Amino acid sequence: MGNGVREGAVEFQRDVEPVTARIPAEDNQEKKKVLNSLMSGALAGAVAKTAVAPLDRTKIMFQVSSKRFSAKEAYRLIYHTYLNEGFWSLWRGNSATMVRVIPYAAIQFCAHEEYKQILGNYYGFQGKALTPFPRFIAGSLAGTTAAMVTYPLDMVRARMAVTPKEMYSSIVHVFIRISREEGLKTLYRGFTPTILGVIPYAGLSFFTYETLKKVHAEHSGKAQPSPPERLLFGACAGLIGQSASYPLDVVRRRMQTAGVLGHTYSSILLTMQEIVREEGLVRGLYKGLSMNWVKGPIAVGISFTTFDLTQILLRKLQHGPGTQR
pLDDT of residue 259: 64
Of 225, 217, 252, give the one whose Cα is nearest residue 308.
225
3-state secondary structure of 182: coil
How many Å apart are CA 240 and CA 140, to the nearest integer?
Answer: 14
Of 275, 15, 131, give the one whose Cα is nearest residue 7.
15
**Domain with 170 in it:** 65-188
Task: Give yes or no for a contact between 123 and 161, defined as CB atoms under 8 angstroms apart.
Answer: no
- Nearest-5° Cα angle at 175, 169 to 176: 80
- Note whether residue 1 is domain-resident: no
Task: Give yes or no for a contact between 239 and 297, defined as CB atoms under 8 angstroms apart.
Answer: yes
Q: Residues 131, 168: one domain?
A: yes
Q: Residues 183, 197: one domain?
A: no
- Note whether residue 30 is domain-resident: no
Q: Residues 154, 196: one domain?
A: no
Q: What is the pLDDT along the chain (325 residues), one digit of tens a residue?
A: 445 544 444 444 444 444 444 456 667 888 888 999 999 999 999 999 998 888 877 877 777 777 777 777 777 888 887 888 788 778 877 777 788 889 999 999 999 999 999 998 887 776 677 889 999 999 999 999 999 998 888 888 778 777 777 787 778 888 888 888 888 888 888 888 889 999 999 999 999 999 999 999 999 888 889 999 999 999 999 999 988 888 888 888 888 777 666 666 668 888 888 889 888 888 888 887 887 788 889 999 999 999 999 999 998 887 765 545 4
**DSSP letter (8 states) at residue 67:** S
- Note whether residue 91 is domain-resident: yes
Question: Would you call 309 exposed, middle or buried from its count of C-beta atoms within 10 A (0-12, 13-18, 19+)?
Answer: middle
**DSSP letter (8 states) at residue 284:** I
**CATH classification of the domain holding 106:** 1.50.40.10
- Note whether residue 314 is domain-resident: no
Give the end of a domain, one of 165, 188, 211. 188
Q: Residues 172, 236: one domain?
A: no
Q: Residues 167, 219: one domain?
A: no
Give the end of a domain, one of 160, 188, 216. 188
pLDDT of residue 264: 67
- Note whether residue 184 is domain-resident: yes
Of 114, 141, 135, 99, give the one whose Cα is nearest residue 38.
114
Would the pTM count as exceeding 0.85? no
Q: Residues 181, 275: one domain?
A: no
- Note whether residue 10 is domain-resident: no
Residue 144: count of CB within 10 angstroms of its CB: 18
Task: Give yes or no for a contact between 144 and 206, defined as CB atoms under 8 angstroms apart.
Answer: no
How many Å apart are CA 210 and CA 40, to the nearest integer?
Answer: 17
- Note whether residue 291 is domain-resident: yes
Give the end of a domain, one of 148, 165, 188. 188
Q: Residues 122, 210: one domain?
A: no
Number of domains in the chain: 2
Angle between helices 268-279 and 191-220 (to 10 degrees): 80
